Amino acid sequence: MKYWLIKSEGDCYSIGDLKRDKRTAWTGIRNFTARNFMRDGMKKGDLILFYHSNGTPAAPTGVYGVAKVMSAAHIDETALDPKDEHYDPTAAKYAQEGKEPMWMCVDVGFVAAFAHPVLLEAMKRDSKLAAMLVLQRGQRLSVMPVAGHHFRRVLELST
């Protein structure tokens, strides 16, 4: 069992949206490192910290809940749809040529929304989370691995 963190802008797709939808394809990831984590690293049943980025004072940045990997990686159809905001002409060209899908995604399912979100500010103050990837300066990955002890610590802080 591995642990992950995925980012979403809270006003774009929030943990509340995932709770309503129960399950969704995590489409729109257009970064190779993030894609590789989904394609090669994620396994069905892995647990995910659901992080809201780009917060505001009213809705601060932080971890707002837990999700679960529901499927192996599959092609991200939004990359092939010219009308989609995440359309990628290069990916569409590759698909026509019968190459491996350029962009892939997993399905994620709702597990829990925290009664008390673990805000970025609180995570930074917690010495046990000092080495956590999401807290490192300059990192911008929207899909990243999380160490088991960091995952458990975030859960502790959410109670």
Partner DNA sequence: GCCAACGTTGGC
The contact set with DNA (CB under 7 A) reads 7, 9, 30-33, 53-55, 61, 90, 120-121, 124, 137-142
Identify which of residues 63 and 66 has a Cβ nearer to DNA in the complex.
Answer: 63
β-pairing verdict for 47-53 and 3-9: parallel
Q: What are phi and psi of 147, to 5 degrees?
A: -70, 150
Query: Using CA atoms, how far apart are residues 133 and 96, in angstroms rounded to an integer?
Result: 37
Cβ proximity to DNA: between 22 and 137 the closer is 137
Per the CB < 8 A criterion, the answer to whether 158 and 126 are in contact is no
Cα–Cα distance, 158 to 39 (Å, whole number): 29
Cross-sheet strand order for the sheet of 143-146:
23-25, 107-119, 62-69, 47-53, 3-9, 143-146
Q: Please say which residue, 75 or 122, places its beta carbon nearer to DNA.
A: 122
CB-nearer residue toward DNA: 44 or 125 = 125
> How many other C-beta atoms are found inside a 10 Å radius of the C-beta of residue 74?
14
Nearest residue (CB) to DNA, 42 versus 62:
62
Pairing type for strands 62-69 and 107-119 reads antiparallel
Minimum gap (Å) between residue 126 Cβ and DNA: 14
CB of 137 to DNA, least distance (A): 6
CB of 149 to DNA, least distance (A): 21
Least Cβ distance, residue 31 to DNA (angstroms) = 5
